[in-house]
Amino acid sequence: AVADIGVTGLAVMGRNLARNLARHSYTVALHNRTHARTVSLVEEHGDDGTFVPSERLEDFVASLKRPRTVIIMVKAGAATDAVIDELVPLLEEGDIVVDAGNAHFPDTIRREEALRAQGLHFVGTGVSGGEEGALNGPSIMPGGTRESYATLGPMLEDISAKVDGVPCCTYVGPGGAGHFVKMVHNGIEYADMQLIAEAYDLLRQGLGASAAEIGDIFAEWNTGDLESFLIEITADVLHHVDAATGSAFVDVVLDQAEQKGTGRWTVQNGLDLGVPITGIAEATFARALSGSVPQREAARGTLPAHTAAWEVKDRDVFVEDVRRALYASKVVAYSQGFDQIAAASAEYGWDIDRGAMARIWRGGCIIRARFLNRITEAYERDAGLPLLLADPYFTDAVADGLQSWRRIVAGAAQNGVPTPAFSSSLAYYDGVRAERLPAALIQAQRDFFGAHTYRRVDSGGVFHTEWSGDRSETQES
Ligand code: NBP
């Protein structure tokens, strides 16, 4: 046995992770169901480092040093279970099975329990950054036991992205914690992309600017607080011209956004845990609306608009308003996502360090951004921070943009520009900061029709009013 680590599943992601490991001087065992992939990897990239290819899974396992560390990088779902079922009988106590695919975290919880019962470590690991990241340094979010991290962690940290010399990989927490955090990362990515799309639409409709002009604005924004991978690629996309038509590329792309499901999982979990992740939810529903073709056809040209023409008096003021509204909305979306991580951490007993999550998202992954430093700093100031927005830096940052944010959301409503994520983020902000919410009325209604009881502002206990009788109040407990 010579290999330090093995990778089974050598499609784009597995292939690039294996190459990344080899380039970091690890001896990498290789296996893939269809052997031709293994052969072509060694043929094309054998000079990346030392590979030990095997056609049979038995030989692959036998080529690994103990404790054996196997990364599974296959299609998430049934394929992962099939590979685990084949692999487990070949392993021995203390060996480490890493699922680096995009598993849904309840599957990871189930698999971790099953393998633990057999004396194996199962590490559900989020990997972000796509194929380019897998090769040159992704953000890596491993869950599982701390004990397994002692063997696996240093290897993953070596191949991860680095920001200021700090690896974008850390131990996340037990069980499904790693895949959970990756799921929320993707949810936040949905929100971020939707917010950027709304900013683009506002600039387009408010200024009548061309795609390329808006690309210039995004490129400018990428030099400030908004600096991030997504803003950078947005500028690139907006500058791109379609070769066939000579039109702006964005104008020839069909306006129906698709999804693979991680946004949906994030929203479903937000509902399960009762965490208001409105930014992520609006972003996921906005994609669904864009793909609601019959509904859009029935509405287009039929539903009246009654809009006022958008009169932007000062172009620079408007652009700055949109930038500030985008930043404030983004803070809300991230604040909500980190709330969801805190809620899940408490629910499942994961003890996730939110500041560390922001730190490992600074490089390698799709939501990498300058702004994440600020989040790490906020949780360094107060690890138990109940609301990211309440950290002094973010409170001030949002306050600075608040008037811009209100002008933009009001203007969008008057002019009929759909801004679900901008608007709902502002509604969340006003909701969470409110002295008193109309939820009191909802509690009264619930007691009226369903005897669901209510609590009072002026005393403890639970009460019910006899709505259909003499309207007297009784204390329930
Ligand atoms: P795919 O998701 O396209 O999966 C292809 C791999 O799965 C091949 O190696 C294939 O083997 C193997 N496989 C399948 Br399908 N069914 C199998 C089975 N029953 N038994 C054994 N192997 C099986 O590959 P990918 O795009 O490289 O993604 C790998 C994982 O990484 C996925 O979970 C994905 O969600 C995740 N991920 C992808 C990205 C990305 O940007 N693509 C980013 C982050 C995470 P074969 O060669 O024999 O068909």
Report the run of H or E that residue 5 belongs to, with start and end.
Answer: strand 5-8
Q: What is the mean pLDDT of residues 279-302?
A: 98
Least confidently predicted of 76-85, 214-223, 304-313, 445-454:
304-313
The pLDDT confidence band at residue 284, using thresholds 50, 70 and 90, is very high
Tens of pLDDT, residues 394-418: 999 999 999 999 999 999 999 999 9
For the Cβ of 75 lying below 6 angstroms from any atom of ligand 1, the answer is: yes
Cα–Cα distance, 378 to 389 (Å, whole number): 10
For the Cβ of 14 lying below 6 angstroms from any atom of ligand 1, the answer is: yes
Say what the pLDDT of residue 191 is: 98
CB burial of 390-428 (b: ≥16 within 10 Å; e: otherwise) equals ebeebeebbeebbebbbbbbebbeebebebbbbbbbbeb
Say what the pLDDT of residue 433 is: 98
What does pLDDT average to over the chain?
A: 97
Tens of pLDDT, residues 235-262: 999 999 999 999 999 999 999 999 999 9
Q: What is the mean pLDDT of residues 191-197?
A: 98
The pLDDT confidence band at residue 311, using thresholds 50, 70 and 90, is confident
Say what the pLDDT of residue 102 is: 96
For the Cβ of 79 lying below 6 angstroms from any atom of ligand 1, the answer is: yes
Nearest CA to ligand 1 atom 35: 102
Tens of pLDDT, residues 112-128: 999 999 999 999 999 99
Residues marked as catalytic: 182, 189
Detail the residues annotated as belonging to a binding site for NADP(+).
9-14, 32-34, 74-76, 102
Q: Which atom of ligand 1 is nearest to the CA of 103?
A: 33
Tens of pLDDT, residues 317-354: 999 999 999 999 999 999 999 999 999 999 999 999 99
Tens of pLDDT, residues 52-106: 999 999 999 999 999 999 999 999 999 999 999 999 999 999 999 999 999 999 9
For the Cβ of 85 lying below 6 angstroms from any atom of ligand 1, the answer is: no
Centre a 10 Å sphere on the Cβ of residue 143 and count the other Cβ atoms it contains: 31
Say what the pLDDT of residue 280 is: 98
Say what the pLDDT of residue 395 is: 97
Query: What are the respective helix, strand and coil percentages of the chain, to the nearest 5?
Result: 55, 10, 30
Q: What is the mean pLDDT of residues 418-442?
A: 98
Say what the pLDDT of residue 477 is: 75
For the Cβ of 73 lying below 6 angstroms from any atom of ligand 1, the answer is: yes
Say what the pLDDT of residue 310 is: 82
Say what the pLDDT of residue 309 is: 80
For the Cβ of 74 lying below 6 angstroms from any atom of ligand 1, the answer is: yes
Whether the per-residue pLDDT at 307 is higher than 80: the answer is yes
Q: Name the residue among 178, 134, 110, 114 with its Cα closest to residue 45.
A: 134
Q: Name the residue among 373, 331, 375 with its Cα closest to residue 354.
A: 375
Tens of pLDDT, residues 1-39: 899 999 999 999 999 999 999 999 999 999 999 999 999
Three-class HEC string of 343-392: HHHHHHCCCCCHHHHHHHCCCCCCCCECCHHHHHHHHHHCCCCCCHHHCH
The pLDDT confidence band at residue 224, using thresholds 50, 70 and 90, is very high
What is the Å distance from ligand 1's center to 76 Cα? 7
For the Cβ of 33 lying below 6 angstroms from any atom of ligand 1, the answer is: yes
Nearest CA to ligand 1 atom 42: 130
Nearest CA to ligand 1 atom 18: 79
State which of 40, 71, 74 you would mutate to test the pocket of ligand 1, scoring each by most atoms of that ligand within 8 A of its C-beta.
74
Q: Which atom of ligand 1 is nearest to the CA of 131?
A: 41
State which of 33, 140, 179 you would mutate to test the pocket of ligand 1, scoring each by most atoms of that ligand within 8 A of its C-beta.
33
For the Cβ of 10 lying below 6 angstroms from any atom of ligand 1, the answer is: yes
What is the Å distance from ligand 1's center to 128 Cα? 14
Say what the pLDDT of residue 71 is: 98
Q: What is the mean pLDDT of residues 441-450?
A: 98
Close Cβ partners of 209 (under 8 Å, ≥ 6 residues apart): 203, 217
Least confidently predicted of 302-311, 388-397, 421-430, 442-451:
302-311
Q: Which atom of ligand 1 is nearest to the CA of 100?
A: 31
Detail the residues annotated as belonging to a binding site for substrate.
102, 128-130, 185-186, 190, 260, 287, 446, 452
